[in-house]
Structure 1
Amino acid sequence: MSSNQFTVASPPTDAISALKFSPDPNSTRIVVSSWDKNVYLYDLRDENGAVGEGKLLQKFEHRAPVLDVCFGETENEIYTAGLDWDVRKIDLNSSEQTVLSSHEAGVRNVVYSREHNLVISGSWDSTLHIHRPDTPPVTIPLPSKPFSLSLTATKLVVAMASRSLHIYDMKALALLTAQADSAETNGNKVEIEPWQRRESSLKFMTRCIACMPDDAGYASSSIEGRVAVEWFDPSPESQARKYAFKCHRQTAEDNVDVVYPVNALAFHPIHGTFASGGGDGVVALWDGIAKRRIRQYQKYSSSVASVAFSGDGKYLAIAVSPGFEDGKDDVPEGVVQIHVRELGETEAKGKGAK
């Protein structure tokens, strides 16, 4: 293990579904959701302010496995989503849990827009719930099950089954919630036309999507070891720039490629490069503009389930837990781990960056 990497103490006891840093650039807090029905809050700093294996601050039990978690307006509130069909708000100061909305199936994703003060969840009931933290949800029907959500200040990208993508205008969604007190929308399904409808550039099922921090586009990954990079701008010039590449593959003894799902993507908040994590237990950093791999880290003991950069870009957190690629569904003790890399000043810079 290199000197600039450490392992967080007291990890979850079952597979990790999501891992997020506080959006506050001065914070070293992370939240982690798990199939063990808990959400964990850690701080990488110890009592003396030193960054290391950190400490578990709080643990919040749910009724079923938790599939996603995110911070809210401040780092003292989080939102969770899971197989109990509920979207919850948790006040970290009081530990109070509030059910904000309930879907009709498991909730795969929850994201929070600080610019618009919106909580958005995507459920396997093929709907989005859009609402402010203190209002009933507006329900938007989707053509198929959502697998991943990501947003910027102006766009929400929804990756679904059947390789379809919807891109929504955040101002239009905020306007919908502003009208949510009216009888026409309150709690009902509302048809809203996406800003764009797209078909994935990848031939196989989308596993993850992540938006660029400069609001220019997004990267998406598939179960078949590929990543696509695309731009929002619908002009032919911008659309001609989109591309896809192979990754997270290993050559077996008989020269046959073993292909792994790309489970996780995260953009660096300052440099705009991105990290990918795969079922092969590998994390790589990419320069999406220069179309080059910057570096690849050592192989971890199990599948990489989630990756996240800290708000100041100094740390990369990596959640390692079984991806069940080997067909076994048990989780041996010690396999679930959270590693944090302290990044060198130029470690995540793009090839062309000054």
Structure 2
Amino acid sequence: MSFGSRLGGFGANVSTLGNTTTSASGTLQDLQNDIVVNNIGDDSVSDIAFSPQAEFMAISNWDKKNRIFEITNNGQVEGRALYEHEGPIMSTRFTLDGTKVISGGADKQVKLFDLASQQAQTIGVHNDTIRVVRHVTCGPQNTPCVVSGSWDKTLRYWDTRQQTPICTLEMPERVYTMDASQKLLVVGTAERHVVIINLDNPDKIFKSSISPLKYQTRCIGCYPKGDGFAIGSIEGRCGIQYIDDMQQKQSGFSFKCQRVNKTTTKETNIYSLNSVVFNPQFGTFATAGSDGSFSFWDKDSRHRLKGYPQLGATIPVVNFNRTGMLFAYALSYDWSKGYEGNTPNYTNTVRIHVCKEDEVKPKPKRK
């Protein structure tokens, strides 16, 4: 990724893709063979992560447990490990070499779990809930480290061999979401602040701005090439953003998603966009949210590749595996309707959808 000098403000050319054309509409029958992951706990799912090196998956949960599964060659999902925090876990990821799992949560701790030894250790502490963790490479030497964002309004980098942070960056507000790709790290905070960091200089804020979306930021997903990111809000809207301001003027836009039109009236129910993730192979992306549906999109053609109907439960998080051909989605309560919505019989499951190429591969450009 190149951090050039031509950097303008967000929303320089934010168009609206109100009535997105649909290449294909999926059905519930298309999902009937999706793999169900058993034994994920009884409380809400907070995050899903895939290993970048093998077919392993981590599922973090509000029940304070992080569960690691292996997807076998015959399509079975088998439990391989489990470790606990002292509070609900909010975020999890694998290290880039795939040998360890990192996590952070309401106990204010960053934990590192070694898959070989099956041992967990605390490698970092914040002053408030840790909302999100990522494993990144920093500086010209590509030094691997863990980065954590917290409600204490800080971003901290950790060497896995010591419990004092390598450095701490003050954020403008509480960290709500964060993602990284290549040398790009993007942080979304309360009050719609967006902070961009060039990981070649991880101790400095490269650029700060305000989200192009009018309402609270819910999720961020970085492009595989590291040249931009998608940002989602509680208003069911997604913004496509580029680091270079010339590219932003040419290609940046926003569009509506996670909305349900009522058939009897002209009203539209608007739901939070909870998760936006990019396919590592094709560069397309998926959105999912509180309406209980997910869709696959091609940002370059501004086109929805495939959209699926509501699945009867909110979707707090989705993710692609390392090949981009497995897509995991959680059907689990996302607290969008407060504690009253968390009924004892609410669905709590994770499913894995085996993607077809026409769902996630960009369409050929028209001549």
Offset, 1:55:
1.4
Q: Which residue of structure 2 aligns with residue 267 of structure 1?
A: 278
1:202 is aligned to 2:213: yes
Q: Which residue of structure 2 aligns with residue 82 of structure 1?
A: 105
Equivalent-residue separation in structure 2 for 1:108 and 1:81 (angstroms): 7
What's the CA shift string for 1:137-188, capped at 9, x where partnerless? 0111111111111111111101111111110110111xx5xxxxxxxxxxxx
SS in 2 for 1:125: coil
Contact 1:37 1:66 in 2 (8 A): yes
Equivalent-residue separation in structure 2 for 1:73 and 1:272 (angstroms): 19
Q: Which residue of structure 1 aligns with residue 70 of structure 2?
A: 43
Contact 2:46 2:90 in 1 (8 A): yes
1:242 is aligned to 2:242: no
Which region of structure 1 is more displaced relative to structure 2, 14-23 or 72-81? 72-81
Contact 2:184 2:227 in 1 (8 A): no
Q: Which amino acid aligns with 1:110?
A: V
SS in 2 for 1:316: strand
Q: Which residue of structure 1 aligns with residue 120 of structure 2?
A: 97
Contact 2:332 2:346 in 1 (8 A): no
Residues 87-236 of structure 1: pairs in structure 2 closer than 5 A: 87-114=110-137, 115-135=142-162, 136-137=164-165, 138-173=167-202, 176=203, 192=204, 194-235=205-246
What's the CA shift string for 1:210-240, capped at 9, x where partnerless? 00001121001000000000101133x5334
Offset, 1:255:
2.1
Q: Which residue of structure 2 aligns with residue 185 of structure 1?
A: none
Offset, 1:98:
1.3
Cα 1:100–1:353 shift into 2, 3 Å:
farther
Contact 1:230 1:239 in 2 (8 A): no
Offset, 1:133:
1.6
Q: Which residue of structure 1 aligns with residue 362 of structure 2?
A: 350
**Structure 2 residues not aligned, in runs of 5+:** 1-28
Which region of structure 1 is more displaced relative to structure 2, 102-111 or 9-18? 9-18
Equivalent-residue separation in structure 1 for 2:309 and 2:344 (angstroms): 21
Q: Which residue of structure 1 aligns with residue 306 of structure 2?
A: 295
Count of aligned pairs between the two proteins = 329
Contact 1:8 1:44 in 2 (8 A): no
Q: Which amino acid aligns with 2:74?
A: A
Q: Which amino acid aligns with 2:325?
A: K
Equivalent-residue separation in structure 1 for 2:345 and 2:63 (angstroms): 13
Equivalent-residue separation in structure 1 for 2:237 and 2:364 (angstroms): 23
Equivalent-residue separation in structure 2 for 1:12 and 1:353 (angstroms): 44
Offset, 1:344:
1.4
Which region of structure 1 is more displaced relative to structure 2, 320-329 or 264-273? 320-329
1:17 is aligned to 2:29: no
Cα 1:334–1:95 shift into 2, 3 Å:
farther
Q: Which amino acid aligns with 1:324?
A: W
Offset, 1:103:
0.5
Equivalent-residue separation in structure 2 for 1:334 and 1:234 (angstroms): 45
Cα 1:29–1:100 shift into 2, 3 Å:
same
Equivalent-residue separation in structure 2 for 1:83 and 1:336 (angstroms): 21
Offset, 1:285:
0.5
Q: Which amino acid aligns with 2:156?
A: H
Q: Which amino acid aligns with 2:353?
A: R
Equivalent-residue separation in structure 1 for 2:365 and 2:251 (angstroms): 19
From 66, 83, 106, the equivalent of 1:60 is 83
Equivalent-residue separation in structure 2 for 1:117 and 1:151 (angstroms): 13
Relative contact order, CA 8 A, sep 6+: which one is greater?
2
Contact 1:302 1:323 in 2 (8 A): no
Offset, 1:323:
2.0
Offset, 1:301:
2.3
Offset, 1:74:
2.6
Q: Which residue of structure 2 aligns with residue 32 of structure 1?
A: 59
Equivalent-residue separation in structure 2 for 1:93 and 1:331 (angstroms): 38
**Structure 1 residues not aligned, in runs of 5+:** 177-191
SS in 2 for 1:97: strand
Offset, 1:93:
1.9
Equivalent-residue separation in structure 1 for 2:249 and 2:112 (angstroms): 38
Q: Which amino acid aligns with 1:145?
A: R
Q: Which residue of structure 2 aligns with residue 179 of structure 1?
A: none
1:322 is aligned to 2:351: no
Equivalent-residue separation in structure 1 for 2:185 and 2:324 (angstroms): 23
- The RMSD of aligned alpha carbons is 1.7
SS in 2 for 1:270: coil
Q: Which amino acid aligns with 1:210?
A: G
Q: Which amino acid aligns with 1:303?
A: T
Offset, 1:334:
6.3
Q: Which residue of structure 1 aligns with residue 95 of structure 2?
A: 72
Contact 1:229 1:288 in 2 (8 A): yes
